[in-house]
Amino acid sequence: MNNKPKVGFYSFSGCEGDLLTILHCEDELLDIFSAVDIRSFRMASSERHDDENLDIAFIEGSITTNKHVKKLKVIRERSKIVVALGTCACYGGPQSARLGYNDWEERFKKVYGSAKLTVAKPFESQPLDEFIKVDYRIPGCPIDKYQFFYALTRLAKGMPVELTKFPVCAECKWNENECLLLKGQLCLGPITAGGCNSRCPNHGLPCIGCWGPTDEANVASEINLLKEKDFSAEEIINKLRLFGGAGMVRRFGELLGIKPKEEKTLSKTQGVSKKKREKK
Ligand code: SF4
Ligand code: SF4
């Protein structure tokens, strides 16, 4: 009898870069596939068992249609543990960068003109936890394969997962990089979750926050620091929202200059009340 944990991989709106990262682990793929019983992984196999219960569901991508919401809720009901995979699933991703900013339908028209939507009517891109309880988050755009291996191994053995709590700056210091912020560049390292081994500053590029905000991000202090360095409020806000998306807006909306009025409009659009979100 097969006693391996049953695992499913699912994808919503996004580039599927997280699932590709897993598939590109040629050296470790056989170990992954032999440690767990994969019941659904569209990119890897056409075989699907969508009526079975799962031990772990890994879900990437943000939620953008009512059809997504229904499918997501079914996956949640079938799964003991749900893991949000990648920054889109965790925080909404780049597609939610402008969340709450002016009128979404107007912005949509700017890009697509008067084209009629024939597939599904989308709404502002949202992270998974707007609609379901998420047990763990593995951020990254895309994820880091070692964080995924760590999480999969722990969860497959029934153990909890705890990812890095420190910011990118900590890794940057360990890598002995010269601080780009001190050199006048707009780096989001102090408020971005570590785990990428300070990939960008290692190459002289400022962090743009693709791992999403750290749990204890002191955004107010980062904004003040950047203002002192003569960056305009608009430059700072645009950078903060690029990957922080919905997660940033929800947690630091006021600091980002997003009025509560716009938050209410969003909740109405998504059919999820603020009260309900706070309960989760
Ligand atoms: S370069 Fe960026 S990530 Fe590195 S220490 Fe400076 S602020 Fe932090
Ligand atoms: S340094 Fe920042 S932008 Fe670069 S990979 Fe890490 S979290 Fe992403």
Digit-coded pLDDT (tens) for 79-95 = 999 999 999 999 988 88
Spatial separation of the C-alpha atoms in residues 109 and 132, rounded to whole Å: 30
Rounded distance from Cα 188 to ligand 2 centre (Å): 9
* pLDDT attached to residue 261: 39
pLDDT category, 157, cuts 50, 70, 90? Answer: very high
Q: Where are the domains of the chain?
A: 6-92+127-156, 168-269
pLDDT score, position 217: 82
pLDDT confidence band for 8 (50 / 70 / 90): very high
What spatial distance separates the first Cα and last Cα of the chain, rounded to whole Å? 37
Q: What is the pTM of this model?
A: 0.85
* pLDDT score of 280: 39
**Per-residue pLDDT reduced to its tens digit, 20-60:** 999 999 888 888 888 899 999 988 888 888 889 999 999 99
Instruction: Report residues whose beta carbon is within 6 angstroms of any ligand 1 atom.
Output: 168-169, 172, 177, 179-181, 187, 189-190, 198, 201, 207
Q: For 188-214, what is the mean pLDDT? A: 94
**C-alpha separations of 80 from 42, 54, 75, 151, 241 in Å:** 20, 6, 10, 15, 32
Nearest atom within ligand 1 for CA of residue 182: 6
> Residue 234 in contact with residue 216, Cβ under 8 Å?
no
Beta 54-60 vs 6-11: how paired, if at all?
A: parallel
What pLDDT was estimated at residue 55?
A: 97
Superfamily of domain 6-92+127-156 in the CATH hierarchy: NADH:ubiquinone oxidoreductase-like, 20kDa subunit (3.40.50.700)
Assess whether the C-beta atom of 143 lies below 6 angstroms from ligand 2.
no
